[in-house]
């Protein structure tokens, strides 16, 4: 049941997540504004890759699906670590600081209700909006398993992609609608893997995907405002299929120990990397008096340093707690 190319994809996806959030580590000047914008267009929104993989693995394991076992596993390996990892951030944003990303009137509520709202929205820490959203996919899992058995189900895929272009990310239910198409695309690619894997890995098709990705990035850069547009979403779902085909093509060539280590720690890195990034930013501001000036020279250094620091922390936790580390950090 193990898929090496998807395992490698998990390492790549968490690299995108960390790299996307690392852009805010820097202070980008007007002279480097174009560089910042280009990085956000190409790197940010890596959550699309994560959701694609989630859909792929869900369908791949659907034949062994048991409702009770599935929900218990998600409670232990996702919801519980989310609850525990969130405690420091929620404590800080209720008792010591205010969170700018919450809605007006949020802090007029009792503190217990503030905590409840943080947990169900994930607004307390930049990446954690993902967990309440993906939980909705867990809840509809029985319906998706049933639908996957119907050969006509995937005809709705084009319509869901169009819907995603009109419904942007937001609170969990809205994000669920937005990301449903890429989750479904992952399921589709898994469902038909025996037929399409040999097609997706062909070099000419990979070149076409790469050109289309660059075209969408250039179009967004020159003709769109913002960096989380529907064009970026289309770019990232194309990128998902491109990386799937590329990793299938590479096969054992992408089979490195460091990639396995990052992939095994990927969900844990997802949970803790915001703490590491924020702590690093605070430390640098105290040492330098301001954020580090943004540049293409230091950006990859910060990305790799944060990623490998998080991987190191997760590996240590795994060695100390063994399999129980999943209950704390999800890995």
- The pLDDT, as a whole number, for residue 218 is 96
What's residue 151's pLDDT? 79
What is the distance between the alpha carbons of residues 44 and 37, in angstroms, rounded to a whole number? 10
Residue 93 covered by a domain: no
Q: List pLDDT tens digits, range 23-66.
A: 999 999 888 999 999 999 999 999 999 999 999 999 999 989 99
Would you state the pLDDT for residue 252?
Answer: 77
Q: Is residue 225 part of a domain?
A: no
Residue 281 lies in a domain: yes
Predicted local distance difference test score (pLDDT) of residue 314: 94
Please, are residues 314 and 272 in contact by the beta-carbon 8 Å criterion? yes
Per-residue pLDDT at 251: 84
Assigned domain for 31 exists: yes
Per-10-residue mean pLDDT of the chain, 331 residues long, equals 89 96 91 93 95 96 92 93 94 92 91 95 92 96 94 94 94 96 97 95 96 97 90 97 96 83 93 92 86 90 95 93 83 71
Domain residue limits at 331: 6-44+256-331
pLDDT of res. 157: 96
> Is residue 176 a part of any domain in this protein?
no
- As for how many domains the chain has, the answer is 1
The answer as to whether 242 is a domain residue is: no
Residues forming beta bridges with residue 292, ordered by sequence position = 26
Q: Which pLDDT does position 214 carry in this prediction?
A: 97
């Amino acid at each position: 049941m193990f898929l090496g190319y998807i395992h490698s994809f998990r390492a790549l996806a968490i690299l995108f997540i960390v790299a996307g959030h690392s852009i805010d580590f820097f202070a980008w000047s007007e002279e480097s504004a174009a560089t910042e914008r280009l990085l956000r267009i190409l790197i940010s929104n890596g959550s699309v890759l994560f959701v694609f993989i989630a859909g792929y693995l869900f369908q791949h394991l659907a034949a062994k699906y048991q409702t009770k076992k599935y929900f218990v596993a998600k409670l232990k390996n996702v919801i519980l670590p989310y609850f525990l990892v969130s405690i420091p951030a929620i404590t800080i944003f209720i008792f010591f600081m205010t969170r700018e990303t919450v809605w007006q009137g949020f802090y007029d509520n009792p503190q217990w209700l503030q905590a409840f709202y943080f947990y169900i929205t994930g607004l307390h820490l930049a990446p954690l909006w993902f967990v309440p959203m993906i939980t909705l996919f867990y809840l509809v899992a029985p319906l998706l398993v049933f639908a996957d058995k119907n050969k006509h189900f995937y005809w709705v895929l084009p319509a869901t992609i169009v819907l995603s272009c009109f419904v942007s990310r937001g609170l969990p239910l809205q994000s669920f609608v937005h990301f449903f198409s890429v989750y479904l695309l992952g399921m589709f690619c898994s469902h038909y893997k025996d037929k399409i894997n040999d097609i997706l890995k062909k070099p000419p098709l990979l070149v076409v995907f790469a050109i289309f990705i660059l075209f969408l990035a250039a179009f967004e850069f020159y003709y769109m405002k913002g960096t989380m547009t529907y064009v970026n979403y289309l770019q990232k779902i194309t990128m998902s299929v491109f990386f799937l085909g590329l990793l299938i093509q590479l096969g054992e060539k992408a089979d490195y120990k460091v990639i396995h280590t990052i992939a095994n720690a990927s969900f844990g890195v997802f949970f803790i990397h915001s703490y590491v990034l924020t702590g690093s930013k605070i430390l640098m501001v105290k040492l330098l008096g301001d954020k580090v000036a943004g540049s293409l020279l230091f950006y990859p250094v910060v990305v790799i340093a944060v990623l490998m620091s998080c991987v190191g922390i997760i590996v240590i936790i795994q060695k100390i707690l063994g399999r129980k580390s999943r209950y704390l950090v999800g890995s």
